[in-house]
Structure 1
Amino acid sequence: MIASKSQYFYEYFSEWIKIYKYGAVRPVTYQKYLMTLRRLTELSPNLKICELDKRSYQTLLNDYAETHERQTTMDFHHHLKSAILDAIDEGLLSIDPTRKVVIKGKTATKRKNKYLSQFELQSLLKNLSLTDSPNWDWLILLISKTGLRFSEALALTPNDFDFSTHKISITKTWNYKGAEGGFMETKNTSSKRVIPIDAPLAVNFETLTKDLAANELIFVQGRVFNSTVNSRLKYLCKTAGVPVISIHSLRHTHASLLIFAGVSIASIAKRLGHSSVTTTQETYLHIIRELENQDNDKIMNHLSALDVNIRAL
């Protein structure tokens, strides 16, 4: 179908995601675009491209925001905006209806803890049961020290470790959500990276994997559910007397502790495999602001120490 101004917006968006997103993004990401399409079709089945203006677009977002939190509404908006900008390039729209849009949404529900403090993490790690063979506790230790995504850690084999230089190469992920499992591509190109690890961790994993074949999965034996690992982590958190977090929150913990340690955002973004530094800044904005407040206090203390007599004018 050739795009035209009289085409329904949901039809244009449907074609747009097939042309620009199918095969270009991960299947899980593509499913999110399809979800956006379903909601767009439900909310504005009769909205045509020629009727897209600031008021109609804002009304669409307001309707969506009635049943979704602000961040979810923002994600919905970003999906639609990308398609709308292409519609402008194609000459189907003369103005950008998304300009100066107001993002609304329901009050956010109370979130679970996203990260532990250094003291809390140390308390958690002290309760790990690190056996002579790979188990979930070893995976928990690995993620806490590397910030790996759960799917990245599951895909590791002994061949991914360079024990002499203390590094891990991340080149793939494990499809733990699929019944058949299997290797998959990383989340993005930047996710393919080499991560330095500390010497004790390298020695431990060299010993731990000495009886495994070079390409044998370290942690996967049959079907894997992240709920199983999260249950183990929940038990460990309660035993250690620290807030209960998820396995993904160990990744946030790793990044947060690096920020507090003064590691640059650029280095953290590279270590985490983020596609841009902006992603890292947005994800950990609350911590960055906390450090900025601490820096402001240090600046004021430093300036106050510069004791000079200033003559009143």
Structure 2
Amino acid sequence: MPSYYDNKTKNWYCIFYYTDWTGTRKQKKKRGFERKKDAQEWERDFLQRQAAQPDMPFSTLSELYLKDKEQNTKFATYRVHKMRVDTWLLPVFGNRPINAIMPVDVRNWQGYLKTAISAQNKPLSDGYRHDLFVELSGVFNFAMRFYGLSVNPCKVVGNTPVKHKKKLNFWTKEEFDRFLSTFDAADPFRMAYLTLYYTGMRIGELQALTAPDVDTEAGTITISKTYHRKYGVEMITTPKTPKANRTITIPKFLCAALQEYINKIYQPDADTRIFPYSHSGYTDAFRSHTKKAGVKLIRLHGLRHSHASLLIELGFSVLLISERLGHENVSTTLNIYAHLFPSKQSEVAEKLDLLQTK
């Protein structure tokens, strides 16, 4: 692994050949190292990333894993993966070779999580520890699939069962009405929250809406994009999942309110976002008016849960609710809201009795 000294720049550089993932042989050159040792280490690390041997450090594997997530998931989802890896995986497994991480190491890490404290100075919940284990297992599965790792140590250990599901916080219609009453009629934030509550759309989907997406004559809103910021740059992309592309019907009073709201926007074109404020702007106003209304504090995303609970209360089917929310499948809807559906067991028994008496 030779390195060379550049008399002009007074720095070391490395130059070598490697084979990329397509099988193409290429030359790589890197300059600017103060020491020969630094140039050699950089070349060794680069070749290791390319060859991706199973004994690569966990830090290298996690970097490859996160790069794959960045390329193949939505940015918001990628950020969740990165935060979990950076905060809870790298500090423990760091530069250890991945094929040297044993099931007992994973088991010890699970024990560490039971006493760990979050950034909010609170113990980690059962659900969050479960999610972290799934993340670690995902990293090892990635290594097995693409880089020849033979065994996922997480599969040997097994996950800790989640004893209690995370509490679902939402508002009743009475609570939402109290919240909405704290706004002036012309406040644009009022229109945003009204739309979120009666459609169940995600905040990014709301922020991406343009005037052509709202068809007040047909009484529909078409959701075909989402808004987010990536490294400080505003971006409009496709929705979270394919099923999130949807057209939902809206009540007449919301049609009228949206039409009046859009009419007040100065010379909007087809690309003008009708809800242009930042996520933090909507969150801050939401918290402020929640306090004014004297209702329990929920997350802004809780308006989506509130919409779902309202539909359940009104007796709509899980399939319709799943389609309206843009879930990828009905099982997602059931996993979140199954406990809100009223039990029909006694009704089943009664109807079976009626069959027997006929």
User: Normalising by structure 2, what TM-score?
Assistant: 0.70
Match of 2:170 in 1: 115
Distance 1:85 1:222 in 2: 36
SS, match of residue 71 in structure 2: coil
Structure 1 gap segments, 5+ residues each: 309-313
Map of 1:41-80 to 2, 5 A cutoff?
41-45=90-94, 47-67=96-116, 68-80=124-136
Matches within 5 A, 1:1-313: 1=49, 2-18=51-67, 20-38=68-86, 39-45=88-94, 47-67=96-116, 68-90=124-146, 92-99=148-155, 101-103=158-160, 114-125=169-180, 127=181, 129=183, 131=185, 133=186, 135-175=188-228, 181=234, 183-212=236-265, 213-215=268-270, 216-220=272-276, 225-235=281-291, 237-238=293-294, 242-288=295-341, 291=342, 294-302=343-351
Deviation readout 1:78-119 (Å, 9 max, x if unpaired): 2222232233335734344333613279x99996x7112344
Deviation at 1:72, TM superposition (A): 1.7
Determine if contact 1:16/1:83 at 8 Å carries over to the other structure: yes
Give CA-to-partner distance per residue, 1:18-54, whole Å, 9 cap, x none.
Answer: 2x21222222322222223323221123543223443
Shift of 1:248: 1.6
Matches of 1:46 and 1:10, distance apart in 2: 6
Question: The residue matched to 1:98 in structure 2 has which SS?
Answer: helix
Task: Name the CA distance, whole Å, in 1 between partners of 2:64 and 2:321.
Answer: 37
The unaligned stretches of length 5 or more in structure 2 are 1-48, 117-123
Structure with larger Rg: 2
The residue that corresponds to 1:311 in the other structure is none
Q: Is the 8 A contact 2:227 2:235 kept in 1?
A: yes
Find the residue that maps to 1:195 and give its secondary structure: strand
Distance 1:223 1:258 in 2: 26
Q: Distance in 1 between matches of 2:242 and 2:312?
A: 23
Q: Which amino acid aligns with 1:21?
A: K
Counterparts of 1:69 and 1:192 in 2: how far apart (Å)? Answer: 33
User: For each residue in 1:151-186, what CA deviation from the matched residue of structure 2 results, as whole angstroms up to 9, or x when unmatched?
Assistant: 222222222111121111122333379766554443
The separation in 1 between residues aligned to 2:346 and 2:177, in whole angstroms, is 28
Provide the aligned C-alpha RMSD in A: 3.3
C-alpha contact 2:197 2:303 (8 A) present in aligned 1: yes
| Number of residue pairs aligned between Structure 1 and Structure 2 | 296
Cα distance in 2 for residues equivalent to 1:214 and 1:115? 35
**Distance in 1 between the 2:280 and 2:110 partners?**
38
Q: SS at the partner of 1:208?
A: helix
- Between the two proteins, what is the percent identity of the paired residues? 23
Answer yes or no: is the 8 Å Cα contact 1:233–1:246 preserved in 2: no
How far the C-alpha of 1:57 sits from its partner, in A, is 2.4
Relative to structure 1, the CA distance from residue 77 to residue 7 in structure 2 (aligned partners, 3 Å threshold; closer, same or farther) is same
Contact 1:143 1:250 (8 Å CA) reproduced: yes
Please give the secondary structure, in 2, of the residue aligned with 1:175. Answer: strand
Counterpart in the other structure of 2:13: none
Alpha carbons 2:197, 2:307 under 8 Å: kept: yes
TM-score under structure 1 length normalisation: 0.79
Q: CA deviation at 1:147?
A: 0.6
Greater alpha carbon shift after TM alignment, 9-18 vs 219-228: 219-228
